[in-house]
Structure 1
């Protein structure tokens, strides 16, 4: 499995990288602009990401905008809905308005609230059928 983590917070990025590496190859982007570039490169090389963890609040280009652009890239490459990357938005904000925006404006698959825990991450990955353990 190929995973992209787009997270500007060093501690969160390290946690995700360490936790997710047992499930596959993990690449890192530190902002939305970099995430889009890395995603585009991967899909152009025929090695798309299966899962993208995207922080909502990042400098330069926020996660909502970056996720929207990732969906546009997938449409441009004629990726069928069943083959789309699963985009999981990460947020420290658990308010309904932020979550609503994440789903409606970015076409995200799901979301998870920070701070991350092993238990919450494992449950989310199971819930989405990404892992079976």
Structure 2
């Protein structure tokens, strides 16, 4: 299982990396541009990411644009819809407009609001099927 974390905030990035590593190999990117490079490289190497956790507000390229471009890269590589990466947007913004934009314009799978904590993240991971109820 490969997971990509794209987060510019050091504390959030480290929290996600530490928490998610028990579920798979975790790579990190510090902005949307870097996330796109890493994501495309993984597809080129035939070792795609199954999950992408991406902050919405990042420098160089925001998460909404990066998520939309990830979907374009998957189409370019003829990734079947059932094999597309699950993209979870992380945001400190919880207003309806941002959530609507994340789903409709970026083609994200789901979102989670910050601040991130173990309980909220565990619930989301169960919801998306990354971890099973014990």
Q: Give the TM bin, normalised by the shorter chain.
A: over 0.9
Give the unaligned 5+ runs of structure 2: none
TM-score (norm: length of structure 1)? 0.99
Q: CA deviation at 1:129?
A: 1.0
Query: Which position in structure 2 is the counterpart of 1:97?
Result: 97
- Deviation per residue, 1:39-65 (Å, 9 max, x gap): 000011000001000100001100000
In the alignment, the residues of structure 2 paired with residue 80 and residue 120 of structure 1 have an alpha-carbon distance, to the nearest angstrom, of: 30
1:106 aligns with 2:106: yes
Q: How many residues align?
A: 133
Q: Secondary structure at the match of 2:131?
A: coil
Query: Which position in structure 2 is the counterpart of 1:38?
Result: 38
Task: Give the alignment of 1:10-49 within 5 angstroms.
Answer: 10-49=10-49
In the alignment, the residues of structure 2 paired with residue 128 and residue 8 of structure 1 have an alpha-carbon distance, to the nearest angstrom, of: 23
Give the unaligned 5+ runs of structure 1: none
1:123 aligns with 2:113: no
In the alignment, the residues of structure 1 paired with residue 84 and residue 122 of structure 2 have an alpha-carbon distance, to the nearest angstrom, of: 21
Q: Secondary structure at the match of 1:42?
A: helix
In the alignment, the residues of structure 2 paired with residue 105 and residue 10 of structure 1 have an alpha-carbon distance, to the nearest angstrom, of: 27
Q: CA deviation at 1:72?
A: 0.3
Q: CA deviation at 1:130?
A: 1.4
1:55 aligns with 2:55: yes
In the alignment, the residues of structure 2 paired with residue 89 and residue 100 of structure 1 have an alpha-carbon distance, to the nearest angstrom, of: 12
Query: Which runs of at least 4 in structure 1 moved beyond 6 Å after TM superposition?
Result: none
Q: Secondary structure at the match of 1:27?
A: strand
